[in-house]
């Protein structure tokens, strides 16, 4: 892969959803994986954007400030911003694209699945949760920002019922360390929809945190969120507020497990 350019990686055939291969496309934010001699000690953070029909098929890799800091402050972390350029993807497609990136970095680049962190916003966050829960349960961590893939509110009854069922399934299967960020004032979901998920998840995976960001907090941290909280993670003040306690915490946890697995007692 050529750093700082949009590159189509050799696609692994991943049979999911429509039984079609999903290409792995995107770019590294900052240092590439090539700069690391030992992929077994490298942490790969895979970022996935949300979805808009207006931009479908034309996405370019962009990394939000809170995830760019992960690479800037951690020399053993590389951040890969994936793009999913499909005209009309389903929620299953989003998850399958993300799972294909995990498969690529594991099989082709030698990175252990336990060394990877899945991060994403909106459909990218929802797909990251599903990939972590159902395809790669040993993934190192997950960071989901406003995860949803059900369209704007208000949702019709059948969508509300499907979403509630999907949240139950996620709570039963998710075991990764990390954080799920939920925003008051988000036009794509109601934070209260996550109450049952949170109660069900807590005894099963207490290391997966649920952070509910209030509307006043959003307005203090995001200049572009006057009408909608959904894109809060694009603001640098959001990054400053939540990076250390959540993103860095997840990275530190993955790193500690790598050291214990690869070289117990070594720095």
Residue 257, number of CB atoms within 10 A of its CB: 16
pLDDT score of 31: 87
Residue with tokens 């003040």: 237
pLDDT band at 223 (very low <50, low <70, confident <90, very high): very high
147-159: per-residue pLDDT in tens? Answer: 998 888 899 999 8
Spatial contact of 151 and 50, defined as CB atoms under 8 Å apart: no
User: Which burial class, exposed, middle or buried, applies to 92 when counting CB atoms under 10 A from its CB (0-12, 13-18, 19+)?
Assistant: middle
Give the CA dihedral 120, 125, 127, 133, nearest 10 degrees: 110
Give the pair of three-digit tokens for residue 5. 């350019």
How many angstroms from the chain centroid is the CA of residue 203? 23
Phi, psi dihedrals of residue 192, rounded to the nearest 5°: -60, -20
Which CATH number is correct for 7-262, 3.30.1360.30, 3.40.50.300, 3.40.50.1820, 3.30.70.1060? 3.40.50.1820
Higher pLDDT, residue 55 or 105: 105
Domain residue spans of the chain: 7-262
Strands 177-183 and 208-213 come out as parallel
pLDDT in tens, 102-144: 999 999 999 999 999 999 999 999 999 999 999 999 999 999 9
Average pLDDT over residues 225-240: 97
| Spatial CB neighbours of 195, under 8 Å, sequence gap ≥ 6 | none
């Amino acid at each position: 892969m050529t750093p700082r350019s949009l590159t189509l990686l050799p696609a692994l055939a991943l049979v999911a959803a429509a039984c079609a291969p999903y290409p792995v496309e995107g770019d590294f934010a900052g240092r590439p994986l090539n700069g690391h001699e030992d992929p077994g000690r490298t942490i790969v953070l895979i970022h996935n954007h949300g979805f808009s029909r207006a931009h479908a098929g034309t996405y370019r890799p962009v990394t939000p400030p809170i995830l760019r800091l992960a690479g800037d402050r951690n020399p053993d972390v590389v951040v890969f911003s994936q793009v999913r350029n499909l005209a009309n993807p389903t929620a299953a497609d989003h998850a399958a694209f993300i799972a294909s990136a995990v498969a690529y970095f594991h099989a082709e680049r030698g990175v252990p699945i336990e060394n990877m962190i899945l991060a994403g916003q909106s459909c990218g966050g929802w797909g990251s949760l599903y990939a972590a829960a159902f395809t790669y349960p040993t993934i190192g961590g997950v960071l989901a920002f406003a995860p949803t893939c059900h369209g704007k509110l208000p949702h019709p009854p059948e969508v509300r019922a499907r979403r509630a069922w999907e949240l139950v399934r996620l709570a039963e299967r998710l075991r990764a360390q990390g954080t799920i960020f939920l925003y008051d004032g988000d036009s794509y979901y109601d934070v209260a929809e996550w109450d049952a998920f949170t109660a069900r998840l807590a005894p099963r995976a207490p290391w997966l945190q649920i952070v509910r960001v209030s509307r006043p907090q959003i307005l203090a941290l995001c200049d572009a969120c006057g009408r909608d909280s959904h894109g809060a993670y694009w603001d640098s003040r959001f990054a400053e507020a939540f990076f250390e306690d959540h993103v860095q915490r997840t990275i530190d946890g993955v790193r500690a497990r790598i050291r214990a697995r690869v070289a117990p007692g070594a720095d």
